[in-house]
Amino acid sequence: MAEQNCLFCRILEGEIPAEVIYRDDRSVAFRDINAQAPVHVLIVPSEHIESLDEASQRDEALLGHLLRVAARIANEEGLTESGYRAVINTGEGAGQSVFHLHVHVLGGRPLNWPPG
């Protein structure tokens, strides 16, 4: 169910514009408005789930799907050889600012470890 006050639900509904680069029956991917790397894409489930912490056993296949979409997009964006990072910030303390589950795909520059 779409949540009225959720930014990503509003993007999914087309109420707020975004550069969508992929869509299927369970997920949508669009470019981050404040890119932290030359490639910075967000993969979000079509269904509103607040965070990874809120995902249940019922969502296992969906979580796997989101990761496979992340890899597919990284491939399409030419990141296979250089490498890329798939990140799920969970909770405010870890930097989550939009409470609709999403996987960041970052690449196109060297990525340091550990992250900040």
Site membership for ligand 5GP, residue 34 (CB under 6 A): yes
Task: Find the catalytic residue in 40, 100, 102, 104.
Answer: 102
Q: Note whether 70 and 86 are within 8 A (CB).
A: yes
User: Judged by CB under 6 A, does residue 90 bind ligand 5GP?
Assistant: no
> Quick one: how far is CA 72 from the chain centroid?
13
Per-residue x/- track, 9-28, ligand 5GP (CB under 6 A): -------x-x----------
Question: In a 3-state reduction of DSSP, which class is residue 87?
Answer: strand
Q: Assess whether 100 carries a catalytic annotation.
A: no
Span between the terminal Cα atoms of the chain, in Å: 34
Binding interface with ligand 5GP (CB under 6 A): 7, 16, 18, 30-34, 42, 89, 95-98
